[in-house]
Structure 1
Amino acid sequence: MAFHSLPDSGNDDPGARIPRRYAWVVFALSFGLLLSDYMSRQVLNAVFPLLKVEWALSDARLGLLSGIVALMVGVLTFPLSLLADRFGRVRSLAVMATVWSLATLGCGLAQQYPQMLAARFLVGVGEAAYGSVGIAVVLSVFPKHMRATLTGAFMAGGMFGSVLGMALGGAVAAHLGWRWAFGVMALFGLVLALLYPIIVNEKRITPSSRPGEPKAAAMAARTPLRTLVNSRSVVGAYIGSGLQLFVGGTVIVWLPSYLNRYYAMATDAAGAVAAIIVLVSGVGMIACGMLSDRMCRNAPASKIRLAIAYSLGSCALLSLAFALPHGTPQLVVIGLGMFLAAGTSGPAGAMVANLTPLPIHGTAFATLTLVNNLLGLAAGPLVTGVLADRLGLANAFQLVPLISLAAAAVFYFAKRHYLSDIQQVGIVSPCTVGTQATT
């Protein structure tokens, strides 16, 4: 069954009208800011061992420093993305980057735990809506048939930013101290925040203003918000994605500490090894998104079957990995598990884009980000930190992959309703069935 993908504002495929070279410039700059976002967020993980010793912190308090960012992202992503859809995405992105970069600088200046916690709170405020609004900008300048690939590739910037944050942060901390690690990340973000609105033009990336057509902000204001959750499959995409990120996000946050404790690695070495594994996860995110677009063009339900397979595969591999003795084989299997762990991001993001109207895509991805953070990126590190205080980090890691079973079950529920929901929300029209297929 072939199907057309969006009940949008009347544009058949607005991204197809953007010059491809400019579209890639927009992608590159948006991707760069996403790198900065996650570098600022994840540099903390590389200096966990140093903070634990200097301030005598428990694992639960360390986990809170990480989780508070994801919590604020979860709480604020929806309202801030809603505002960005209505008042200008480019201007909003530049403001966000400035806030999180200055807050990261504040982390480096913190003299005690409460000050660090407050600075991390502000990092979360700045980063709250970047992922959702940024991906909405990217999807708006490319054709629809590239959605799973672009979603996977863009969100992989989080993995690559985590790699740079941990590896570069660990190296800087080892040579100059942990405060300088935060300072380097802040400088990178401030430079990009200055360049972004100069190069990316709001009017140029909003090609919906043909004669007689309303402006994008007006269309967003008139689109009912109930369309964000008006089908069972889109709700399943939100929840399944969040549960799966509980696993991947937890491993990213705690892996440097795991290597420090059980492999006796120094801060820089642990950050470098963890960065390699996170890099593998980022490559997997892109590869899984591309596979979804290629294999599922004419079989839309197969996209969700792949999400189920990624969830189950990561569960099996990571469960095996954390049951193995410490050593090279364990690290290899962890890498294989992490290759699949974030593979659901592309399919889930494409499902959300296909089941929600174009004018409020920023808000739709904010909803996805909200669930990703509340169920995954905020809950995972904090819950694991609490378990680590009671059971030890190694034992806590053995329990984490089991959450992927719940993710697979939710994706299976979404698969059962996906095609009927596509029709229910009016995405298929008589004139497009059989003539177009987009994933």
Structure 2
Amino acid sequence: MRSDTITSSPDGIVVPTLPPARNVAAGAVPTRFPLGIMLMMMLIYTLNFFDRQILTILVEPIKADLLLSDGQIGAITGLAFAILYTAAGMPLAWLADRTNRVRLIAVALAVWSVFTIACGFTRSFGQLLLTRVGVGVGEAGCTPAAHSLITEYVPRERRALALAMYQMGVPLGSLTGLAVGGLLVSSLGWRWAFFLAGAPGLVLAAIVPLVMHEPRGNRAAIVPDPVPLGPGLKTLWRRKSFVWICIGSGFSAFAFYGLSAFSGSLYLRTHATELAAMAADASMAPTALLGIVLGLIVGVMGGLGTFLGGFLSDRVARGNIVNYVLFCAVALTLAAPLFAGAALAGGLVLSFAFFGGALFCQTLSYGPVYAAIQTVAEPRMRGMAVALQLLVVNLVGLALGPLFVGMTSDHLTATLGPIHGLRSAIALVAVPMLLSGLMFTHATRLVRREDATFGGD
């Protein structure tokens, strides 16, 4: 059994929570859950997804104002963001394995916040495309460094819970992005929604270096020099289970981002009459009500799934890390029909129920998949490992999911009309979600074949 710990003793000093900010002593293994630090990390990732997901509820007014097609919306919501997110991911992960990760996260936070604000000044498809590319570049610097930090902040037996807590930023950021975005666009317009979305990140970017610490310190003698990029990639890709986990994650993201990018449009077009009646009863604009409802569904169901996935998978994987992968396989397979149901349900409330169930099952996989990846990687390759997985997730999922739904919707609209064309396009994402579950099932067999308990830290 390989051990990727960085200490000589299984017992060490406690990692401090916020405050104070100081280095973990050389040779120490964390023995306590650093709640303060994890709350800060979760807040950072919440803003990450807040700035990313606010665009979802702004799609229809932006489309009308800038005269865009569904295909162009798919390019802006997915492809534009993913282009440099994926291109910058590996170099920034390489940097995270060699430099101060806290400062890197702070700079990344400032960059994506500035570009989010810049989205509000755009006047054309090309300008909005470029600003979303800038948001992607900034956000690419966050997660590899964050995952690497978390792995050193927390004990091995609580790693999935910690990574799931960080991933809580996805539902929480989506909740606030949809709810706040819906309220802002109905009262101030979509441009002011972008202006106000980017501002909190600039404030938090100044706070992060003051309250978080870099555990590495000057431990050059304890942590070996990071593996060069080329040999590191070869090492990771030689483990076939890791490859299939990455590809399966990409297909899951394809379905998630495909549905997510057009969820606002789905309800505003398909269930317009029911939504208008519900909004009238609540004395609200339909867009504002939809933003709040979708935000609550994503926040509550996605948050519950993320937390339970990390909590439960830590327990089922105590004996063997293969159960992390099996846990993902079951959750993603269950999610597939629910994604189709959200698009095809005849009633608004039933569609909301399918939507919530789909997100719950899909987010169950967040903690265990990242726990498996971070455990297989050596300490000096952890940033590289998560960046490689995110590269696949974003190339397959974020870049292609919304683009596929948008272009398929444009194609099907010619024969089925704008309502059924979009519904059918979204329903098709159930296929890659099912394939994702099958890929994780295959990865489970590969893990067993490779005798992969992945070592002990």
Give TM-score, length-normalised by structure 1: 0.89
Partner of 1:315: 336
1:336 pairs with 2:357? yes
For residue 346 of structure 2, give the secondary structure of its aligned residue in structure 1: coil
Given the alignment of the two structures, is residue 119 of structure 1 paired with residue 148 of structure 2, yes or no?
A: no
Cα contact 1:9–1:357 (8 A) shared by 2: no
Given the alignment, which residue of 279, 287, 294 partners 1:267?
A: 287
Structure 1 stretch displaced more, 191-200 or 27-36 = 27-36
> Is this contact kept in 2: 1:132–1:366, CA < 8 A?
yes
Q: Deviations over 1:144-201 (max 9, x none)?
A: 1111122222122122112111211121111111111111111110011000011112
Which of 44, 47, 51 matches 2:58? 47
Q: Does 1:256 align with 2:264?
A: yes
Which of these residues, 7, 14, 19, is aligned with residue 16 of structure 2? Answer: 19
Which runs of no fewer than 5 residues in structure 1 stay unpaired? 429-436
- Alignment partners' CA distance in 1, 2:41 and 2:59: 28
Deviation at 1:13, TM superposition (A): 6.2
- For 1:431, the equivalent position in structure 2 comes to none
Asked if 2 retains the 8 angstrom alpha-carbon contact of 1:16 and 1:142, the reply is no
Residue aligning to 1:413: 442
Deviations 1:355-410 (A, max 9, x none): 11012211111111111111112211111111111221101121111112211221
> Match of 1:238?
246
User: Aligned residue for 2:39?
Assistant: 28
Verify: 1:7 aligned to 2:4, yes or no. Answer: yes
Cα 1:78–1:170 change in 2 (3 A) is: same
Change (3 A) 1:21 1:372: same
Aligned to 2:85: 73
CA deviation digits over 1:102-140, x for unaligned, max 9?
Answer: 111110111222211111111111111312211221221
Tell me whether 1:347 sits opposite 2:368 in the alignment: yes
2:6–2:222 Cα contact (<8 Å) kept: no
C-alpha separation in 2, matches of 1:273 and 1:416:
40
Give how far 1:342 is off: 2.4
Matched residue pairs, number?
419
* Counterpart selection for 2:71 from 57, 60, 82: 60
Q: Structure 1's 36 and 60: CA in aligned 2 closer, same or farther, altered over 3 A?
A: same
Residue pairs, 1:170-189, within 5 angstroms: 170-189=182-201
> Aligned equivalents of 1:298 and 1:207: distance in 2?
33
Task: State the Cα distance separating 1:84 from its structure 2 match.
Answer: 1.9
Seen in structure 2, the aligned counterparts of structure 1 residues 228 and 337 have a Cα distance that, compared at 3 Å, is same
**Structure 2 gap ranges (5+):** 20-33, 276-285, 413-420
1:149 partner amino acid = L
Q: Identify the range of structure 1 (191-200 vs 312-321) with the bigger mean alpha-carbon deviation.
A: 312-321
- Which residue of 143, 149, 153 corresponds with 1:141? 153
Task: Report how far residue 322 of structure 1 moved.
Answer: 3.0
Range moving further from structure 2, 303-312 or 94-103:
303-312
**Aligned ranges 1:379-418 → 2 under 5 Å:** 379-391=400-412, 392-418=421-447
Deviations 1:221-249 (A, max 9, x none): 46951333231111121111111121122
- Distance change >3 Å, CA 102–CA 422, structure 1 → 2: farther
The answer as to whether partners of 1:241 and 1:345 remain within 8 angstroms in 2 is: no
Contact 1:32 1:192 in 2 (8 A): no
1:54-75 deviation digits (Å, cap 9, x = unpaired): 1111011111111111332222
Q: 1:147, 1:382 → 2: CA distance?
A: 34
Q: 1:238 to 1:13 in 2, by over 3 A?
A: farther
Quote how far apart the aligned CAs of 1:207 are: 6.3
CA distance in 1, matches of 2:307, 2:127: 37
Find the residue that maps to 1:87 and give its secondary structure. Answer: coil
Distance in 1 between residues matched to 2:12 and 2:56, nearest whole Å: 37
Q: Indicate the SS of the match to 1:322.
A: helix
Q: Distance in 2 between matches of 1:385 and 1:36?
A: 26
Matched, 1:365 2:371: no
Q: Does the CA-based 8 Å contact 1:16-1:141 persist in structure 2?
A: no
Asked if structure 1 preserves the Cα contact closer than 8 Å seen for 2:66 and 2:123, the reply is: no
* Contact in 1 for aligned 2:258/2:404 (Cα 8 Å): no
Q: Which amino acid aligns with 1:42?
A: Q
Instruction: Give 1:282's aligned residue.
Output: 303
Q: Post-superposition shift, 1:294?
A: 1.5
- Structure 1 window deviating more from structure 2 (98-107 vs 26-35): it is 26-35
Once the two structures are TM-superposed, the CA of residue 422 in structure 1 deviates from its matched residue by 4.9
- Three-state SS of the structure 2 residue aligned to 1:115 is helix
Give the 3 Å change call, closer, same or farther, for CA 302–180 of structure 1 in structure 2.
same
Give the 3-state SS of the residue equivalent to 1:109 in structure 2.
coil
Aligned to 2:164: 152
2:175 to 139, 156, 163: 163
**Are residues 344 and 16 of structure 1, via their aligned partners in 2, closer, same or farther at CA, if it must alter by over 3 Å?**
farther
- AA matched with 1:328: V
The 1:198/1:19 distance shift into structure 2, 3 A limit, reads: closer
Identity of aligned residues (%): 29
Structure 1 SS opposite 2:87: helix
Pair 1:422–1:130, CA change in 2 (3 A): farther
Q: Find the counterpart in structure 2 of residue 87 from structure 1.
A: 99
TM-score of the pair, normalised by structure 2: 0.86
Q: How far is 1:19 from its partner?
A: 2.8
Higher relative contact order (CA 8 A, sep 6+): 1
Q: For residues 420 and 268 of structure 1, what CA distance do their matches in structure 2 show?
A: 51
Post-superposition shift, 1:220? Answer: 1.8
> Structure 1 residue 9: deviation in Å?
3.9
- Residue of structure 2 in register with 1:206 after alignment: 216
In structure 2, distance between residues paired with 1:87 and 1:414: 33
Contact 2:7–2:222 (CA under 8 A) maintained in structure 1:
no
